Copies of this chain bind each other. A is one copy, B any other.
Amino acid sequence: MSAALLEGKLIAESLKAKIKLEVEALKSKYGKTPKLVAIQVGDNASSSVYVKAQKKAAEAVGIVYELKIISDTISQPGAESMVKEMNKDGSVTAIILQLPVPKGIDAKKLINLIAPSKDAESMTPENLGKIVSGQYRIGPCTAMAVMELLESAKVDLYGKEAVVVGHSEIAGKPLALMLLNKFATTTVCHIATAERGRLLEHVKRAEILIAAVGKAGIIKGDWIKDKAIVIDVGINKVGERIVGDVEFGAASQKASYITPVPGGVGPLTTTILMRNTLELFKAGLK
């Protein structure tokens, strides 16, 4: 058997079309357009890739996008002032801080300063906390992209055995909360699970497997349960190739659905950023 592909690229296209329509409708109704400001501190090759993708996605859906690059010699208070200024600026409806930031700048402190009502990545404590209580329309982009992929495959999560590998703040932990909100029985594994030699047994019983570790091929293809749904969040560079956390070839022989890497979760995250921006804008109109 060979798994069906869950291609984030395709889902992103249809999602962008929906966002575009809504942005246009709101513009004609209220005469206003969402504006996303990206703050980038210093120069960074990976940031440059991201901001390019963000700009393109914003243009595609009709969201105004502005990149503010500040010098990497800026002080922490200087960077904080920039965030505060954007919070106050009435024309700015959403803010994203590009990561990484240079050494000496405390990214977490900057993120926590972003007004929750403008927090496009949904990484402030207030927006993360709303996920605990299940009342949220925005969420961390990677976690939301995974949920979107599961929905696109019409996966009924109720009572399913879901296993998340990786317990990061942007993926594993919010994902666990989202899966619980949908009544999946949810297990989160991580480095300590692997060290204890227990990763294999958890992966083997997973009906829904989400890998969000960031280590090429750490999950072997023959560990995958028959007909499992496999979502691979990992984006790892091996020589010139980009691969996921799961051994794709062997895994796709066992899974019923699997995300390719690249082309799976990745392309969808930028679209979710646009959807978050739209949702924040709509909440601000009320």
Contacts and interface: CB of A to CB of B under 8 A. Distances in A.
Contact of A133 (B125, B132, B184): B125
A185 B202 contact: yes
Nearest to A127: B129
Interface string A171-190: 01110110010011111111
Interface in A135-177: 135, 158-159, 161, 167, 169, 172-174, 176-177
A29 interface: no
Interface string A122-133: 001111111111
A187 B183 CA distance: 12
Contacts of A286: none
Nearest to A133: B169
Interface residues of A, number: 39
A88 interface: no
Contacts of A124: 129
A193 B128 contact: no
A167 B178 CA distance: 11
B169 A180 contact: no
A99 interface: no
B159 A196 contact: yes
A159 B167 CA distance: 13
A191 B167 CA distance: 24
Given A174-B132, A188-B180, A190-B180, A195 B159 contact: yes
A198 interface: yes
A49 interface: no
Interface string A190-204: 111101101000100
Contact of A188 (B126, B186, B192): B186
B188 A176 contact: yes
A102 B182 CA distance: 28
A195 B159 CA distance: 7
16 contacts: A108-B133, A128-B129, A129-B131, A129-B132, A134-B169, A159-B192, A161-B198, A172-B180, A173-B177, A173-B180, A176-B176, A176-B188, A183-B192, A185-B189, A185-B190, A185-B202
